[in-house]
Structure 1
């Protein structure tokens, strides 16, 4: 961004907003509408400067101007449905999109651990003996793994799955407070558990059953966990490498963005739980169950990349403080 050209082009707008704020107790109806319109414009300018410029002085000036304007228009809140739509089309997908490299890194590291441990366990009686007795392992691979998905009514099982998955994701989000440091260990624990089961199942020639039961819900479920981990670790990294902006500002912005991730993942994990309780144990052919899981995963990724990329290009960050709180006017 050419900061000088940007300032030259938009300074009249900022100056006019300053003038209206100085006279805010004596504005006409038309001037009130103008104030609201200018507030929205300058909020957009602030988002653009934050995302494309390291000029802290300009960011500070516009932040102060937007804060004063927001205070002046308090009371003209946007309808709740506008907040709802903005959350699902801007706040949540843009945070997920901007964390995509962290998200991918978490996934790659997770599956490397899963494969490594599965290969270590499979065909290694000494390792398997530390996991359980031969009868216990036989019971796991022949009965327990498959019956896990069908032994309880779908409604109660779906709730249990949703709570368990939400707990893992919540740990990742909560540990963002500790700058994401414990998150790799949480991922490692879950990868190790999955790797052990995979190793035992494949060693017993039950690999097809394992993948057929895990894939339908596991794709979107693990994606949600990776996204939660990405948001938390990205927050921690902002302390180490805040870029050209003040460390405190970046930390606060990404911390508020983590809240968007937490809210969005409640619904994503609910979808994963519904698939696990209704589709995974269903009598549908394996390829149909897997196709449903793949479709859900593709739909989620398409949603994130479509809305997230569009919001990122518009200068959005997912910071809840940037959400407009006024009814748009013409």
Structure 2
């Protein structure tokens, strides 16, 4: 191919396409048809250049032109506040509802593990001696000790932000790395339940378990639920690698992975609420029953949100995946 002759023959078409793409006003019907025709021709020209005369400058110019024309022709959709409202009203609760068969058992087993660890530590002095020296244990569990002062040792705002960041990172690890057969998810769960179990065991041995529960329950119910949802979703994603079902493994991982990323955004909002409770309610001077009531109300509202809105959305066909027009194209696969 003589590149100079090729450019001379088609430059007028490229310039006309560029002119149509720069139009500020709405194109007429004839201009829209012309734009589609020029887009198709330019895409063919780009293919010819790439295969017969790979000139980097010309190929780059035509690639940019074709990409802009494709965006105009296909009508690229921009995210709006309506998408945000739709996500929190249907997409996110539906995704959480769909994975309930994973995160509910995960929650029950994890709480059982934490309780067993707490019982083991609380009833075995030799185990407590391995954790820390007797003086350190007394300092941690005494009135005003480390377990109690932890929640009031920093300004509420910065403490809430720190807690939210740490918990959001833990949830993101579960969601993003769940595809690694769920191994990182199990590690995050073990770390969380070990810390909880140690607190239960040490405070029980000091006869102050009621104080510990009064400190942990206001924010812990919602916080741990979010972590369990993330963990259950991560485990489901890991199982998808093993058993993708009737879909191809790539398609199944794509769909579940997109839903998991959306859940990371939704759970960040949930953990923000629990962080606010932990930063402002837990260390407050409210009576223990009032603080626990606030935590229980937050937990019940979240569960109602998931089971009522999420259940309705799933029955309506919502899966938590992105909108159909935003998904990559797929090809049929044999069963």
Same fold (TM over 0.5): yes
**CA offsets 1:48-95 (integer angstroms, 9 cap, x no match):** xxxxxxxxxxxxxxxxxxxxxx98973363661111111101221111
Q: Which residue of 2 aligns with 1:248?
A: 250
1:199 deviation in Å? 0.4
Distance 2:76 2:120 in 1: 62
1:162 aligned to 142, 161, 164, which one? 164
Distance 2:96 2:316 in 1: 15
Alignment of 1:33-48 (within 5 A): none
2:311 aligned to 309, 326, 329, which one? 309
Q: Which residue of 2 aligns with 1:292?
A: 294
Q: Which residue of 2 aligns with 1:121?
A: 121
Q: TM-score, normalised by structure 2?
A: 0.73
Q: Which residue of 2 aligns with 1:82?
A: 82
1:207 deviation in Å? 0.7
Q: Which residue of 1 aligns with 2:37?
A: none
1:158 deviation in Å? 0.9
1:26 deviation in Å? 11
Q: Which residue of 2 aligns with 1:181?
A: 183
Distance 1:322 1:213 in 2: 45
Q: Between Structure 1 and Structure 2, how many residues are aligned?
A: 260
1:27 deviation in Å? 7.6
Q: Which residue of 2 aligns with 1:95?
A: 95
1:319 deviation in Å? 1.2
Alpha-carbon distance change, 323 to 118 in structure 1, aligned in 2, over 3 angstroms: farther
In the alignment, structure 1 residue 274 sits paired with structure 2 residue 276: yes
Contact kept in structure 1, 2:176 and 2:260, CA below 8 Å: no
C-alpha RMSD of the superposition: 2.2
- Which is greater in Rg? 2
Alpha-carbon distance change, 323 to 287 in structure 1, aligned in 2, over 3 angstroms: farther
Q: Which residue of 1 aligns with 2:264?
A: 262
Judge which range, 183-192 or 73-82, deviates more: 73-82
1:181 deviation in Å? 2.3
Q: Which residue of 2 aligns with 1:60?
A: none
Distance 1:318 1:79 in 2: 16
Judge which range, 73-82 or 93-102, deviates more: 73-82
Distance 2:325 2:290 in 1: 41
Q: Which residue of 1 aligns with 2:197?
A: 195
Distance 2:174 2:222 in 1: 16
Where in structure 1 are there 5+ consecutive unaligned residues? 1-24, 29-69, 326-330
Which is bigger in relative contact order (C-alpha 8 A, separation at least 6)? 1
1:256 deviation in Å? 0.5
Judge which range, 212-221 or 240-249, deviates more: 240-249
Distance 1:216 1:147 in 2: 16
Distance 2:129 2:250 in 1: 51
Q: TM-score, normalised by structure 1?
A: 0.74
Alpha-carbon distance change, 125 to 242 in structure 1, aligned in 2, over 3 angstroms: same
1:239 deviation in Å? 2.0
Distance 1:26 1:283 in 2: 68
Q: Which residue of 2 aligns with 1:6?
A: none
* 3-state DSSP of counterpart to 1:315: coil
Distance 1:177 1:235 in 2: 5
Q: Which residue of 2 aligns with 1:110?
A: 110
Judge which range, 306-315 or 257-266, deviates more: 306-315
Contact kept in structure 1, 2:122 and 2:204, CA below 8 Å: yes
Distance 1:240 1:178 in 2: 10
1:171 deviation in Å? 1.5
Q: Which residue of 2 aligns with 1:206?
A: 208
**CA offsets 1:241-292 (integer angstroms, 9 cap, x no match):** 2222222211110011011111101111110100001000111111110010
